Amino acid sequence: MNSIKSIALTISLLIFLPVLISCNDKDEAENTRDSNSSADLTITEPVILSYNEKNNEILHMVHSQFEKPLASYPIIELSMASYQKDGLLYRNGVDAPFTGQVIKRTEDGSISMRTSYYEGIPHGKMERLTPEGYSMMEAVFVNGCLFGVRSVWWDNGALKEEENWDGGTYKGKKTWDRQGRLIRSEVVPGT
């Protein structure tokens, strides 16, 4: 019976994991970065802290890697940038990989997504917003890899799910119903 549960968990992980940038593969874009700018962040125990506790710690480390305060870098629309063959994001008409914040707007002009980039790679907080400006999803990237807790909220503001990540490796997830009752909790075996 335990082997059936293990097989079912493995299949569900393969089916339902979001498609993300592979952080375990050393790609050409990563090799072009200065080795001093990459984070050496390792989570040695399963992440079970809430978004605010763990992600604020990670964001503090990420923000210290920017040469000046993140707010002093440009904020551009997603339509003003594109990914190039090296896998990095570039502002249209600029030869250097983009550092700053990228936003996406809805037709009515409200911000629906905000992500910070460092040298063309997602680095810092990614946030998806409701038309009213409330968070519907928050995650933290370190050199293009998910770290910490990726949180998603119901439209009523209740926590919907928290996924735990360590350097782009999925570690587990908790899911709640609209009333805030925990309905599922999973941990990847061996973590």
Which sequence spans correspond to the domains of the chain? 41-152
Average confidence (pLDDT) over 29-56? 47
What percent of the chain has pLDDT above 70?
A: 72
Distance in angstroms (rounded) separating the CA atoms of residues 10 and 22: 19
The three-state secondary structure class of 102 is strand
- DSSP 8-class letter at 18: P
Asked if residue 88 lies in contact with residue 120, where contact means CB atoms within 8 angstroms, the answer is yes
Which spans in the chain are helix H? 2-16, 28-31, 51-65
Q: Which residues contact 155 (CB under 8 A, 6 or more apart)?
A: 130, 136
pLDDT (tens digit per residue) in 112-137: 999 999 999 999 999 999 988 889 99
pLDDT (tens digit per residue) in 48-62: 344 567 788 888 888
| 82 band by pLDDT with thresholds 50, 70 and 90 | very high
pLDDT (tens digit per residue) in 10-26: 333 333 333 333 454 43
| 190 band by pLDDT with thresholds 50, 70 and 90 | confident
- How confident is the model at residue 145, as a pLDDT? 94
- How confident is the model at residue 95, as a pLDDT? 95
- How confident is the model at residue 3, as a pLDDT? 39
